[in-house]
């Protein structure tokens, strides 16, 4: 505990430069090599994309309030769901946790001054911006209507929309992922502080390590696929279009070879956040540390072997379908292991239900449903009926929103005092967490039933007997929307009016809590030496309970 000996009073007495105050010009931000500033710029950009993607979601739900196509025409509706998917997946879900929270915290959590390749880190942000700008440009020009899956031959031959501009945007954005993944792997291997062994790493770091593996192995495949798509569209070389000698199912194989592992790029970091939250807010060492760590790696590896479960009715062979169904069942096991270990961690803990923990508890319930319905869809005989219906839509929203977005929000609330030095309103935080949970379930649970009824996805109109459930879903979406907008308000409010958080508001043992809030540019005053295991809450590890109690009393007065 060499590095965090400063108390609040001392900080106030002689204000030191932190990463926010160390340079205020535009140049000092745009040319920064500081991982924390890059993370903050990601936070702003990713949130903007989330907001635009959310607007598309709102129009989709409004259109589906009635069975007829009355609010939007079919063509507009097709563009709305396509652009919702593209923005949310490529520009929100994939970068959110790794590029924001990972970027900010990974070096601090392992006791490093920065990522191993700070300039590459800045380059990855620029790739994200260029890819994002191209995509937004294409949307303003008129958008794209192929679905985020870009299935051929529709995308290569039939669609008259801005397919290639968006494709190029995704292609460029892919390099952002690859570079971030590369950077994380190098950093975790080479930059750990003295004493920070592999099995002392916080599980958030393990999860980001597994994610990075998928990023650098999977993302090049989608880049190649987009390139082939461009070659076919411009040069008329027959690759995917059967009219000129190609095979449309080849595209699906290439696309899902990336896009299934991409699901794990989205959910693994979320699982990492949840491991942190569950353990820290129970003040108890996580149950089965090694099992959680290795299950992340197992998910990353097995995740590459199950892409064919997106193609059970596509015309691939019956035997391929059976093999993919089997492997899909296998990949369910590591997720189950995590679930059990998280639950067991709560046992005999000292559970603090602060806002981040509410998100974590919500995650347990929603991810449970998301995971179990994944079994429905992995069971090949059942999925012939369910595939391409709202059951699938509900399932992946339970995993992506109920899992990843909830974990992301939990993480943002958890590390907000560290990132900004300010505490948000706990009251509004809890209200918003509950609204998100209730609104989410009301939106997506009815869609399971709609899916079993056979309502196909990507439909602008639907049979009248399905309207009641769609009304529930749209009503839920408005609650969810309010719940998601609230943090924008109270978090922004906290930047100015929030009370000072102090270095370690929850008295937690992680390295990020042993430096100032906000941290200085070089993260630590002195290089930390780690002598404790992850998640050890005892006073012998330098957590001064007496001091924290005195501090709490002082703020009450």
Which residues within the stretch 52-71 sit at the binding site for other proteins (CB under 8 A)? 69
**Structure token digits, residue 286:** 């996580």
CA gap 530, 108 in Å, rounded: 12
Nearer to other proteins, 112 or 300 (CB): 300
- Interface pick for other proteins out of 36, 284, 310, 397 (rule CB under 8 A): 284
217 lines the binding site for other proteins (CB under 8 A): no
Residue 500 pairs in a beta bridge with 422
CA torsion sign for 303, 305, 307, 312 is negative
- Interface pick for other proteins out of 55, 62, 120, 329 (rule CB under 8 A): 329
- Interface pick for other proteins out of 234, 340, 427, 497 (rule CB under 8 A): 340
- Interface pick for other proteins out of 243, 488, 489, 495 (rule CB under 8 A): 243
Phi, psi angles (nearest 5°) of residue 456: -70, 150
- Interface pick for other proteins out of 45, 83, 159, 279 (rule CB under 8 A): 159
Nearer to other proteins, 198 or 353 (CB): 353
Residue with tokens 């899992």: 403
CA gap 308, 323 in Å, rounded: 9
What DSSP character marks residue 348? T
Q: What minimum distance in Å lies between the beta carbon of 346 and other proteins?
A: 4
- Interface pick for other proteins out of 349, 431, 482, 525 (rule CB under 8 A): 349
- Interface pick for other proteins out of 97, 394, 460, 480 (rule CB under 8 A): 460
What DSSP character marks residue 114? S
288 lines the binding site for other proteins (CB under 8 A): yes
Nearer to other proteins, 191 or 301 (CB): 301
Q: What minimum distance in Å lies between the beta carbon of 64 and other proteins?
A: 11
CA gap 350, 403 in Å, rounded: 24
- Write out the E strands in 372-488: 422-423
305 lines the binding site for other proteins (CB under 8 A): no
470 lines the binding site for other proteins (CB under 8 A): no
Give the residue among 56, 249, 292 at the shortest CA–CA distance from 152: 249
Cα radius of gyration (the chain): 23
**Exposed (0-12), middle (13-18) or buried (19+): which is 496, by Cβ within 10 Å?**
exposed
Q: Are 324 and 304 in contact (CB under 8 A)?
A: no
Nearer to other proteins, 21 or 74 (CB): 74
Q: How many CA atoms lie within 13 A of 212 on its CB side?
A: 22
**Taking every pair of C-alpha atoms in the chain, what is the biggest distance, in angstroms?**
78
Q: Which helix (H) or strand (E) holds 40?
A: helix 35-63
3-state secondary structure of 469: helix
CA gap 531, 528 in Å, rounded: 9
* 3-class SS string, 160-190: CCCHHHHHHHHHHHHHHHHHHHHHHHHHHHH
20 lines the binding site for other proteins (CB under 8 A): no
254 lines the binding site for other proteins (CB under 8 A): no
381 lines the binding site for other proteins (CB under 8 A): yes
Report the interhelical angle of 355-378 vs 248-281 (nearest 10°): 150
Q: Are 442 and 472 in contact (CB under 8 A)?
A: yes
Neighbours of 468 (CB within 10 A): 11
Nearer to other proteins, 522 or 536 (CB): 536
Query: Which range in 100-108, 165-173, 201-209, 283-291 contacts other proteins by CB under 8 A?
Result: 283-291
239 lines the binding site for other proteins (CB under 8 A): no
Nearer to other proteins, 191 or 449 (CB): 449
3 vs 113, 466, 511, 513, CA distance in Å? 13, 61, 10, 10
Q: What minimum distance in Å lies between the beta carbon of 150 and other proteins?
A: 11
Nearer to other proteins, 197 or 343 (CB): 343
235-175-56 Cα angle (round to 5): 85
- Interface pick for other proteins out of 266, 380, 419, 511 (rule CB under 8 A): 380
Nearer to other proteins, 4 or 380 (CB): 380
What DSSP character marks residue 389? B
3-state secondary structure of 278: helix
Which residues within the stretch 79-118 sit at the binding site for other proteins (CB under 8 A)? none
Query: Which range in 8-16, 121-129, 447-455, 518-526 contacts other proteins by CB under 8 A?
Result: 447-455
- The residue count for binding other proteins (CB under 8 A) is 103
Q: How many CA atoms lie within 13 A of 141 on its CB side?
A: 15
Q: What minimum distance in Å lies between the beta carbon of 349 and other proteins?
A: 5
Give the residue among 523, 541, 555, 534 at the shortest CA–CA distance from 191: 523
- Interface pick for other proteins out of 20, 62, 71, 351 (rule CB under 8 A): 351
453 lines the binding site for other proteins (CB under 8 A): yes
Query: Which range in 1-9, 415-423, 459-467, 477-485 contacts other proteins by CB under 8 A?
Result: 459-467
Nearer to other proteins, 195 or 538 (CB): 538
Q: What minimum distance in Å lies between the beta carbon of 87 and other proteins?
A: 18
289 lines the binding site for other proteins (CB under 8 A): yes
Q: What minimum distance in Å lies between the beta carbon of 280 and other proteins?
A: 12
**Structure token digits, residue 499:** 């009370």
- Interface pick for other proteins out of 33, 113, 253, 283 (rule CB under 8 A): 283
Which residues within the stretch 360-379 sit at the binding site for other proteins (CB under 8 A)? 361, 364-365, 368-369, 372-373, 375-376, 378-379
- Interface pick for other proteins out of 121, 173, 389, 494 (rule CB under 8 A): 389
333 lines the binding site for other proteins (CB under 8 A): yes
Which residues within the stretch 23-42 sit at the binding site for other proteins (CB under 8 A)? none
- Interface pick for other proteins out of 492, 495, 545, 554 (rule CB under 8 A): 545
Q: How far apart are the first and last CA of the chain?
A: 29
Q: What minimum distance in Å lies between the beta carbon of 143 and other proteins?
A: 13
């Amino acid at each position: 505990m060499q590095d965090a000996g400063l108390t609040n009073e001392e900080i106030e007495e002689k204000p030191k430069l932190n990463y926010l105050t160390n340079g205020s010009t535009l140049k000092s931000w745009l040319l920064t090599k500081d991982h924390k500033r890059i993370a903050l710029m990601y936070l702003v950009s990713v949130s903007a994309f989330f907001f635009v993607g959310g607007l598309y979601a709102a129009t989709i739900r409004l259109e589906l309030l009635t069975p007829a196509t009355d609010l939007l025409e079919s063509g507009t509706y097709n563009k709305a769901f396509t652009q919702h998917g593209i923005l949310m997946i490529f520009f929100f879900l994939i970068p959110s946790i790794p590029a924001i929270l990972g970027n900010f915290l990974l070096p601090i959590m392992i006791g490093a001054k920065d990522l191993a390749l700070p300039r590459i880190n800045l380059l990855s942000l620029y790739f994200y911006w260029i890819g994002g700008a191209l995509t937004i440009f294409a949307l303003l020009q008129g958008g794209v209507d192929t679905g985020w899956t870009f299935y051929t031959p529709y995308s290569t031959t039939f669609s008259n929309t801005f397919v290639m501009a968006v494709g190029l945007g995704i292609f460029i954005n892919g390099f952002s992922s690859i570079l971030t993944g590369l950077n994380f792997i190098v950093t975790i291997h080479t930059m750990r502080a003295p004493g920070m062994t592999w099995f002392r790493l916080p599980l958030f770091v393990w999860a980001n390590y597994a994610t990075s593996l998928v990023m650098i192995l999977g993302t090049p495949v989608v880049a190649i696929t987009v390139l082939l798509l461009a070659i076919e569209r411009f040069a008329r070389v027959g690759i995917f279009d059967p009219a000129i000698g190609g095979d449309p199912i080849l595209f699906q194989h290439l696309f899902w070879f990336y896009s299934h592992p991409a699901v794990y790029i989205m959910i693994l970091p979320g699982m990492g956040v949840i491991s942190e939250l569950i353990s820290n807010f129970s003040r108890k060492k996580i149950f089965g540390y090694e099992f959680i760590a290795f299950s992340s790696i197992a998910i990353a590896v097995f995740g590459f072997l199950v892409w064919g479960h997106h193609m059970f009715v596509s015309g691939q062979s019956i035997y391929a379908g059976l093999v993919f169904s089997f492997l899909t069942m296998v990949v369910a096991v590591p997720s189950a292991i995590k679930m059990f270990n998280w639950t067991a961690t709560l046992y005999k803990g000292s559970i603090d239900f602060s806002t981040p923990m509410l998100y974590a508890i919500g995650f347990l319930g929603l991810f449970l449903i998301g995971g179990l319905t994944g079994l429905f869809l992995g069971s090949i005989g059942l999925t012939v009926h369910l595939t391409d219906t709202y059951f699938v839509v509900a399932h992946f929203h339970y995993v992506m929103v109920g899992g990843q977005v909830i974990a992301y929000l939990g993480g943002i609330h958890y590390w907000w005092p560290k990132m900004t030095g300010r505490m948000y309103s706990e009251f509004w935080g809890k209200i918003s967490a509950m609204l998100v949970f209730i609104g989410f379930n009301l939106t997506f649970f009815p869609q399971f039933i709609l899916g079993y009824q056979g309502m196909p996805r990507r439909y602008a109109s639907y049979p009248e007997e399905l309207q009641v459930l769609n009304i529930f879903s749209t009503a839920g979406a408005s609650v969810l929307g309010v719940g998601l907008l609230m943090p924008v308000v109270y978090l922004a409010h906290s930047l100015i009016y929030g009370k000072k958080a102090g270095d370690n508001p929850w008295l937690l043992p992680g390295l990020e809590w042993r430096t100032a809030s906000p941290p200085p540019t070089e993260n630590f005053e002195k290089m930390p030496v780690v002598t404790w295991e992850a998640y050890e809450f005892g006073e012998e590890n330098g957590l001064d309970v007496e001091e924290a109690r005195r501090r709490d009393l002082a703020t009450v007065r």
